[in-house]
């Protein structure tokens, strides 16, 4: 399996659309095309192997399921994970002869995702810094009263930042990908300590993704109870996610009803006290 | 009495929907997206260049929030700008004060509901649909997310415009808080199920009887008989403890896991059992 110039170019274009301050807008770009699962489909179509693409994308998605970026502090930018990590991991899987659906295939894919994630952070800061130039042009345009120029500044010029920081890195790395994977393969034998560690790390890393999410939604110790109910449903009873969501919705509904009932109850006594005061 | 046309409102919404983050920098995160969303409004409300420029001044201030839920702020300010143009006692400072005051709380709610619950929930379901490498899950996510977010943002924009400050009260009021708490509960249950279905940490650690060569302690089986996937749960809790309680950055926790994996492989606790 190799990546040709045309394919690498397409991957580069999608990287421009999908990155965090990306040209696809955040709903369609970052939150749709940027999600590794969706990118798995896109890359799969571009490289002509949808099944492997989806499986690799799904494995990486888990690592980045909770990519919350509060205040623009980005821990890992998805453009690199999705449009550099997935193609490279697909090449590596083919090269090693691993099935993407196997646990080992998953581990390899996740490790690649984490490795290129760090590269993404560099690209993110590069883009954001370059955008300062366009913003400067924008301020001058407002001073001069050329308001229409704002559209060019906001939606046109950042393309240049992306050609430099998204398109070119993706294009070059993907094009060199097959050679890079072969080198890695020659240097690191499968049953060696390094490869064993990479695969083990791959199986441990999704725990970080889940933990980042838990940090968002667990505010106190008892909040772990619903988490473990969900965990037990899937781990012990082998209930799938759709059914687990339905059961969870029932609990959430009951919780909402109780909270609303409490809101009413809080109001009623205060009413009574007022009435008594009036009687006196 | 100036009244904004539906066409202008739509244009302003589209500019925000697409352009809120396209020209992002660390210095002025969503400022230019905001300016582009307000420009059609200001051009319709004010006739002279001077007036337009003065009105734009308000929106030159730094702005950053969770952009999906933050659409309501844009809607509210559009309503206020209209009131200002009609001389209803609203000033640029009032608008900016409101904007600055709202972006923090809305970012907090948006990050936990949209990014923390809605997206992982949809992705969790999508992952389940794509288990065998089928594209159905990815397609499901594309349709479900874009439908919810586009309709949701439209609603927030126009409700914000229509109801002004009341729309914000609705989002931060008591009932909304109860709803938010319930959705977060649903979220944590789904995340639990996602963790159990998709993460798998196993050990190969065994104690072997030297005489018979049989294993008398298979640690992985022992753990699973207490809590299925217990080792996975333990690692998730460990990572959560490091990030939430020890304030470690996710990147550092990842590096720590590399060390743990290396040591684990060295002492024979972990072994992915690979071969060509």
Compute the nearest-CA separation of A273 from chain B (Å). Answer: 22
* pLDDT interval class at A168 (50, 70, 90): very high
Q: Give the span between the Cα atoms of B69 and B115, in whole angstroms.
A: 10
- The pLDDT tens digits of the residues spanning A171-187 come to 998 888 777 777 776 77
Yes or no, beta carbons of A212 and B190 under 8 Å apart: no
Yes or no, beta carbons of B23 and A155 under 8 Å apart: yes
**What is the percent of chain A where pLDDT is above 90?**
21
Number of H helices, E strands in chain A: 13, 0
Q: Give the span between the Cα atoms of A229 and A226, in whole angstroms.
A: 5
Q: Which of the pair, A211 or B88, is modelled with greater confidence?
A: A211
Is residue B44 within 8 Å of residue B7, measured between CB atoms? Answer: no
- Judging contacts by C-beta atoms under 8 Å, the chain A residues touching residue B56 are 142, 147
Give the Cα-Cα-Cα angle B241, B245, B250 (nearest 5 degrees).
65
Q: Does A141 touch chain B (CB under 8 A)?
A: no
Inform me whether the pLDDT recorded for A245 exceeds 90: no
Residue positions counted in chain B: 276
Q: Which of the pair, B185 or A179, is modelled with greater confidence?
A: B185
Per-residue pLDDT averaged across B130-151, rounded? Answer: 92
Per-residue pLDDT averaged across B135-146, rounded? Answer: 93
Interface test with B, best of A31, A95, A109, A121 (most B CBs within 10 A): A31
Compute the nearest-CA separation of B182 from chain A (Å). Answer: 5
- The pLDDT tens digits of the residues spanning B39-50 come to 898 888 888 888
Inform me whether the pLDDT recorded for B273 exceeds 70: no
Highest average pLDDT, of A197-201, B133-137, B199-203, B204-208, comes from: B133-137
- C-alpha Rg value of chain B to the nearest Å: 26
Q: Which of the pair, A271 or B124, is modelled with greater confidence?
A: B124
Q: Give the span between the Cα atoms of B236 and A218, in whole angstroms.
A: 13
- Judging contacts by C-beta atoms under 8 Å, the chain B residues touching residue A236 are 227-228
Q: Which of the pair, A60 or A118, is modelled with greater confidence?
A: A60
- Judging contacts by C-beta atoms under 8 Å, the chain B residues touching residue A240 are 128, 197
pLDDT of amino acid A269: 55
- Judging contacts by C-beta atoms under 8 Å, the chain B residues touching residue A70 are 107, 111
- The pLDDT tens digits of the residues spanning B54-87 come to 888 888 888 888 888 889 889 989 988 888 888 7
Per-residue pLDDT averaged across B126-131, rounded? Answer: 85
Q: Which of the pair, A205 or A169, is modelled with greater confidence?
A: A169
Burial environment of residue B66 by CB neighbours within 10 A (0 to 12, 13 to 18, 19 or more) = buried
- The pLDDT tens digits of the residues spanning A58-96 come to 888 887 775 544 444 455 567 788 898 899 888 888 887
Tokens of residue A275, six digits:
């009435």
- Judging contacts by C-beta atoms under 8 Å, the chain A residues touching residue B178 are 256, 259-260, 263
The dihedral through the CA atoms of A67, A70, A75, A79 has a sign that is positive
- The pLDDT tens digits of the residues spanning A247-262 come to 999 999 999 999 888 8
Is residue B128 within 8 Å of residue A242, measured between CB atoms? Answer: yes
Per-residue pLDDT averaged across A149-153, rounded? Answer: 88
Highest average pLDDT, of A52-61, A178-187, B192-201, B212-221, comes from: A52-61
CA end-to-end distance (rounded Å), chain B:
78
Among A173, A200, A19, residue whose Cα is nearest residue A85: A173
pLDDT of amino acid A37: 92
Residue owning tokens 């770009």: A29
Is residue A38 within 8 Å of residue A24, measured between CB atoms? Answer: no
Size of interface A-B (CB pairs under 8 A): 385
Inform me whether the pLDDT recorded for B221 exceeds 80: yes
Q: Which of the pair, A134 or A72, is modelled with greater confidence?
A: A134
ipTM: 0.79
Least confident span in A27-31, A245-249, A274-278: A274-278
Inform me whether the pLDDT recorded for B26 exceeds 70: yes
Residue in chain B closest to A238 (alpha carbons) equals B197
Inform me whether the pLDDT recorded for B92 exceeds 50: yes
Mean pLDDT, chain A, integer: 82
Yes or no, beta carbons of A214 and B191 under 8 Å apart: yes
Interface test with B, best of A235, A240, A249, A262 (most B CBs within 10 A): A235
Yes or no, beta carbons of B192 and A154 under 8 Å apart: no
Residue A71 region, left (φ>0) first, then alpha (ψ -120 to 50), else beta? left
Highest average pLDDT, of A38-52, A188-202, A238-252, comes from: A38-52
Which three-class secondary structure state does DSSP give residue B269? coil
- The pLDDT tens digits of the residues spanning B234-249 come to 999 999 999 888 888 8
Q: Does B266 touch chain A (CB under 8 A)?
A: yes
Q: Which residues are within 8 A (CB) of A280 and not within 5 positions of it... i.e. 6 or more apart? A: none
Per-residue pLDDT averaged across B5-27, rounded? Answer: 86
From B18, B174, B197, residue closest to A234, measured CB to CB? B197
Mean pLDDT, chain B, integer: 84
From B19, B126, B251, residue closest to A154, measured CB to CB? B19
Per-residue pLDDT averaged across A226-252, rounded? Answer: 89
* pLDDT interval class at A189 (50, 70, 90): low
Per-residue pLDDT averaged across A134-152, rounded? Answer: 87
CA end-to-end distance (rounded Å), chain A:
89
Q: Give the span between the Cα atoms of A65 and B124, in whole angstroms.
A: 8
From B20, B24, B124, residue closest to A241, measured CB to CB? B124
Inform me whether the pLDDT recorded for B264 exceeds 60: yes
From A52, A245, A247, residue closest to B121, measured CB to CB? A245
pLDDT of amino acid A67: 55
Q: Which of the pair, B136 or B87, is modelled with greater confidence?
A: B136
pLDDT of amino acid A70: 43
Yes or no, beta carbons of A20 and B133 under 8 Å apart: no
Least confident span in A208-212, B173-177, B233-237: B173-177
From A27, A151, A217, residue closest to B117, measured CB to CB? A217
Residue positions counted in chain A: 280
Is residue A160 within 8 Å of residue A167, measured between CB atoms? Answer: no
From B39, B120, B179, residue closest to A213, measured CB to CB? B120
């Amino acid at each position: 399996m190799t990546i040709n110039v045309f394919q690498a170019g397409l991957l580069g274009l999608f990287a421009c659309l999908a990155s965090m301050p990306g040209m696809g807008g955040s709903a369609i770009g970052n939150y749709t095309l940027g999600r590794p699962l969706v990118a798995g489909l896109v890359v799969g179509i571009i490289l002509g192997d949808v099944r492997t693409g989806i499986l690799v994308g799904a494995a990486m998605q888990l690592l980045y399921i909770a990519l919350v970026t509060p205040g623009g502090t980005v821990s890992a930018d998805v453009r690199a994970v999705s449009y550099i990590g997935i193609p490279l991991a697909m090449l590596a899987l083919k090269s090693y002869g691993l099935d993407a659906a196997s646990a080992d295939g998953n581990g390899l894919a996740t490790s690649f995702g984490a490795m290129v994630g760090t590269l993404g952070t560099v690209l993110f800061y590069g883009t954001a810094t370059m955008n300062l130039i366009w913003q400067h042009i924008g301020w001058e345009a407002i001073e001069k009263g050329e308001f229409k120029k704002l559209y060019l500044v906001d939606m046109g010029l950042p393309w240049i930042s992306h050609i430099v920081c998204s398109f070119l890195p993706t294009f070059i790395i993907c094009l060199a990908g097959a050679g890079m994977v072969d080198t890695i393969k020659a240097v690191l034998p499968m049953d060696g300590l390094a490869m064993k560690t990479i695969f083990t790390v791959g199986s441990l890393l999704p725990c970080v993704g889940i933990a980042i999410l838990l940090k968002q939604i667990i505010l106190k110790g008892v909040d772990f109870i619903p988490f473990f109910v969900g965990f037990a449903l899937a781990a012990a009873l082998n209930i799938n996610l759709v059914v687990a969501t339905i059961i969870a919705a029932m609990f959430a509904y009951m919780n909402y009803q109780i909270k609303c009932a409490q809101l009413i109850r809080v109001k009623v006594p205060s009413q009574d006290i007022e009435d008594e005061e009036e009687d006196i | 009495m100036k009244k904004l046309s539906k066409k202008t409102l739509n244009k302003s919404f589209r500019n925000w929907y697409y352009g809120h983050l396209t020209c992002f920098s660390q210095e002025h995160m969503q400022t230019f997206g905001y300016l582009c969303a307000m420009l059609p409004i200001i051009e319709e409300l004010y006739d002279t260049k001077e007036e337009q420029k003065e009105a734009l001044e308000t929106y030159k201030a730094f702005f950053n929030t969770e952009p999906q839920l933050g659409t309501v702020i844009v809607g509210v300010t559009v309503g206020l700008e209209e009131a200002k143009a009609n001389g209803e006692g609203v000033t640029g400072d009032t608008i900016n004060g409101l904007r600055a005051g709202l972006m923090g709380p809305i970012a907090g709610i948006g990050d936990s509901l949209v990014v923390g619950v809605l997206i992982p929930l949809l992705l969790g379901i999508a992952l389940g649909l794509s288990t065998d490498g089928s594209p159905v899950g990815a397609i499901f996510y594309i349709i479900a997310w874009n439908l919810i977010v586009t309709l949701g943002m439209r609603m927030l924009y126009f409700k914000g415009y229509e109801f002004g400050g009341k729309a914000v009260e609705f989002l931060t009021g008591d009932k909304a808080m109860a709803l938010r708490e319930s959705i977060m509960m649903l979220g944590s249950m789904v995340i639990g199920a996602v963790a159990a279905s998709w993460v798998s940490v196993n050990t190969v650690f065994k104690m072997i009887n030297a005489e018979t060569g049989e294993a008398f302690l298979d640690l992985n089986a022992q753990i699973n008989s207490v809590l299925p996937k217990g080792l996975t749960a333990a690692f998730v809790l460990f990572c959560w403890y490091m990030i939430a309680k020890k304030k470690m950055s996710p990147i550092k926790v990842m590096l720590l896991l590399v060390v743990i994996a290396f040591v684990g492989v060295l002492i024979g606790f972990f072994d992915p059992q690979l071969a060509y």
